[in-house]
Structure 1
Amino acid sequence: MNKSRRKFVQLTGLTAVASLSGCTSLFGRNNTSTTTGNQSTQTQHTTDVETTSTTPTNTTTRTEREVKAPSGIVNQASVPDRPAQFTYAYMGANDASVTATVYGSWKCPYTQEFVDGYLQTIIEKFVRPGDVRLAFREVAYDEGEPFHGPDELTAAHAGLSVWNRSPSAYWSFFARMFANQQSTTESWATTDRLIQIAKVAGVSNRNEIRQDIKNRAYKQEIKATMQKVHELELGAVPRVVVGKSITAPTVDAGDTEDLLEQAIADEK
């Protein structure tokens, strides 16, 4: 691999990676990948909006849609031995030398592209051998409003509830969520649909998960993620972060691979 060509971004103030391809608008930009220039970190308001189920014009409701099976190996990802010690979802070994975090969005097509594509390689090459422990944190807000509509927030609560109540089935749920992602403008992530996906994924405690969604049980955890997003000045998702280094895997997967390889080498 040509290390001189691929340089991962070291976070030192404003990051150039923030302007690269992905679901954007996290700093008040339009949903494009071309904005550059100075950014201002702003206070994140935590607007909670409940999504209600609606019926499309055809006779099949969102709840009744078939749940597609995921491709690849994401749904087979291992969970750390003591998952209860982690607030956010992790895959890999407890004693992995490197921790990487994926910031993404349940309704972002770029995050879906990453999950269906290069994440498979990361799992195979870095997570399964025990070198990297990988976290997922859902980016739910855009200037205080749900990122891709009110159901983005519903999905955010659902994902955290699944992880905390049924961690062994989390990555099966995660993979099926992206396999069944609908358009960003359609409010498809209703509570009923999320519970249906959870059931197919083998998630237990679904009544409790439904109640967590209703009660908006993970407001503080979602807010903490958004505070981290602004601290890191992430202008788009998906992004892979190790320490203060950030890569945009849907722009050049090699950057992410270089970052992980270097982080592993630094720990030896």
Structure 2
Amino acid sequence: MTSAVELRSVVKQYGSAATRMTALSGVDLSIRPGTFVSLIGPSGCGKSTLLRIVAGLEEPDSGDVGVHGVSPSEACAAKLLGLVPQTPALLPWLDVRANVVLPSRLNRAAARRRRRILEEREDVAPVDVDLLLAKAGLGDAAHKLPAQLSGGMQQRAAIVRAFALRPDVLLMDEPFSALDEFTRESLQDQLLDLWDDLDTTVLFVTHSIAEAVRLSDTVVVMAPRPGRIVDVIDIDLPRPRNARLFEEGRFHAYEDLIRERLHRAWHMTDAA
């Protein structure tokens, strides 16, 4: 089976000569289709840089990056990739529904490219946007402008917009970091429901250990200076994962394990 995302010996540097900083050093990562993978690590470890490289927003200095066997730019052209940034980036003059459907109306040739890459015989069926909005708790807000929504509702709209494209790989860069804990947990529930329905591969950047454990099939631990992967931990917890999971000992055991690996990563950095 072709990996949904594949990185081999990826290196990314910024600056030159004495000011050169290595954001990523020799990164290898393979992500199976349909899985939920989180990147976690301290600031400066290259999580967002890695995500941007997979998204085709930056080029590595060396190494190989593939999305279903093609380059990120080819994957973008075929609408195989969706991106949810830290801020919703909704167009303020369009209502929620119009923001959600706009990307699907652009680049009509993408469907042909997608079929060729994934060797599909038929177009991917479009999602029911109104049903998707309702599942995300936005049914009554579909015709409101972004300025009329709370921060949490705007982020829901950004997530629905990404899923409405039916991307094969969804990239999420700390989408809940600016939200309060209650709203964050509510959006985690809705994200998991949408992911389960649409069978998308997710690569998710987070600073929250609890969030990584709750959402993920696999947690990738990174360390800085230089940015690198130091551990890959599979999360063997049953799905669906509702709020009761927070009360279970095995959930907290995974939290403790990841926290210990993060501390170890810091010590590795200090030693360097």
TM range (shorter): under 0.3
- TM-score calculated relative to the size of structure 1: 0.25
Specify which structure has the higher proportion of strand. 2
